[in-house]
Amino acid sequence: MPTVTAAPNDFFDIERARYNMVEQQVRTWEVLDQSVLDLLFVVKREDFVPPAYRRLAFTDMEIPLRIDVDGAVYDSGESMFAPKVEARFLQELGIRPHEHVLEIGTGSGHMAALAAHKAQHVLSIEIDERLKQFGEANLARAGVRNVKVELGDGARGWPARAPYDVIIVSGGLPALPPGLLEQLKIGGRLAAIVGEAPVMTAQIVTRVTDGGYDTLKLFETNVRFLRNAWRPSTFRF
């Protein structure tokens, strides 16, 4: 684990906050993979949050994606996952260097950046053009070169580029959309938070055969739904 040393002014405060986030939030959330913990020191979370929320970057909360657009505050209605959620997903997915990842919901670009350090390539789909620009700018500043952000509605996946080794849904889903799991390769894994407020379940689904899937339920939480998230029909005869 990287050590924390004293440094002047804000730098020391930021590094202490980052260290506390890893030790008090992430590690206690059953994230014990040292490569994941170390990555949280490499990918600077504070560089991905909206500037107004910089001092809250390491808190155990979802950060609202309210960004500056042409001098005015634009509230996208979206938010970043809490740090422990991102880290737990990254650990459980076990992304390998040769793998290709689909992320649905770019947002700030932070989850894509974390995945990019593990994967060969990440394709991230964002429905909101202003968030796409925000996420792309953050990724570029962070020097992340193996992420491609595309504008579109990925609520049912992105079949044009399928199949994928890994799919990450960076937003809640009432239920898994039909066809989404079919976009995984055999051996591929999907991370999603599924259900209805106030209790939703984070899960990893692995495709084990053409028609067979294993589901690992990780924890209960509550997050904002992905925009245009698919809902099963409640109509009954």
pTM of the model: 0.92
What six digits make up the tokens of 228?
Answer: 């245009």
Provide the pLDDT for residue 37. 98
Residue 204 — φ and ψ, nearest 5°?
Answer: -115, 125
Q: Which CATH number fits domain 9-221: 3.30.1330.10, 3.40.50.300, 3.40.50.150, 1.10.150.120?
A: 3.40.50.150
Residue with tokens 């997915």: 93
Assess contact for 200 and 211: CB atoms under 8 A. Answer: no
Residue with tokens 């500056």: 68
Give the pLDDT means over successive 10-residue stretches in the chain (237 positions).
Answer: 41 84 97 98 97 94 94 95 98 98 98 98 98 98 98 97 98 95 98 95 97 96 94 67
Residue 27 corresponds to which amino acid? R
Distance CA 207, CA 189 (A): 6
Edge-to-edge, what's the strand order for the sheet holding 184-196? Answer: 147-151, 121-126, 100-104, 164-173, 184-196, 199-207, 213-221
